[in-house]
């Protein structure tokens, strides 16, 4: 079973001829607007975030997660072939919990990584870096981006200058801030 859109879903065993139940994660409670206990909604969240942010990049993260979990799905299917019938429900339920948790984790990692036109990454040392990811040149040319904006190039130069001045002012303001001693201790590991 792969709930929701195949490109953002994960294929996982749901039942066998020996199982007597379907795990909660494979069911949708239709009385809720969003059933966060359902894998369907985790996949929907991943799919919608990938489409709404940088799909060409986010899909690489989705595919990597699919490969990892689908290999485990195949291993579980092979194990179930020889497992006692009484073990099927427990193994399927345990695996569905892992898949469900992993897919919500994937969603939140996409939210953190592809956000507001930036790709945010974390180094092994915890350092955070972000890069503005624009549209490819071929796309800008195809949509006539250079012709659709009726503004002289000096407008962009002025905007760049104003942003630079604002960044310098913010740096001065931040340097002049006095924080309570306790707050300073608590925020040493945070990036603001």
What is the C-alpha separation between 99 and 25, in angstroms, rounded? 9
Among 63, 62, 77, 59, residue whose Cα is nearest residue 12: 77
Cβ count within 10 A of residue 27: 15
Query: pLDDT by residue (tens digit) across 56-83?
Result: 899 999 999 999 999 999 999 999 999 9
Residues 6+ positions from 88 with CB-CB distance below 8 Å: 16, 18, 19, 80
The segment with the largest mean pLDDT, out of 40-44, 169-173, 181-185, is 40-44
Reported residue count of the chain is 192
Asked whether the predicted pLDDT for residue 189 surpasses 60, the reply is no
State the pTM of this model.
Answer: 0.69
What is the C-alpha separation between 92 and 96, in angstroms, rounded? 6
132's enclosing H/E stretch is strand 128-132
Dihedral angle sign, alpha carbons of residues 4, 6, 7, 12 = positive
Cβ-contact 41, 47 below 8 angstroms: no
Asked whether the predicted pLDDT for residue 13 surpasses 90, the reply is no
Query: pLDDT by residue (tens digit) across 121-155?
Result: 888 888 888 888 877 788 778 888 777 666 777 77
What is the C-alpha separation between 135 and 13, in angstroms, rounded? 38
């Amino acid at each position: 079973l792969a709930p929701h859109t195949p490109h953002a879903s994960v294929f996982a065993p749901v039942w066998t001829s020996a199982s007597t139940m379907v795990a909660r994660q494979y069911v949708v409670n239709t009385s809720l607007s969003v059933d966060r206990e359902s894998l369907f909604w985790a996949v929907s969240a991943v799919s919608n975030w990938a489409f709404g942010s940088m799909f060409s990049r986010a899909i690489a993260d989705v595919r990597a997660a699919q490969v990892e979990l689908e290999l485990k799905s195949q291993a579980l299917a092979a194990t179930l072939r020889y497992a006692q019938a009484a073990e099927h429900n427990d193994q399927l339920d345990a695996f569905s919990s892992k898949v469900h948790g992993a897919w919500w984790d994937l969603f939140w990692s996409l939210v953190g990584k592809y956000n507001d036109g930036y790709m945010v990454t974390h180094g092994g040392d915890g350092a955070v870096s972000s890069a503005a990811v624009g549209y490819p040149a071929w796309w800008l040319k195809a949509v006539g981006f250079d012709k659709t904006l009726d503004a002289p190039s000096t407008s962009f130069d002025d905007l760049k200058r104003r942003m630079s001045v604002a960044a310098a002012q913010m740096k001065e303001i931040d340097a002049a801030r006095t924080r309570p001693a306790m707050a300073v201790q608590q925020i040493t590991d945070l990036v603001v």
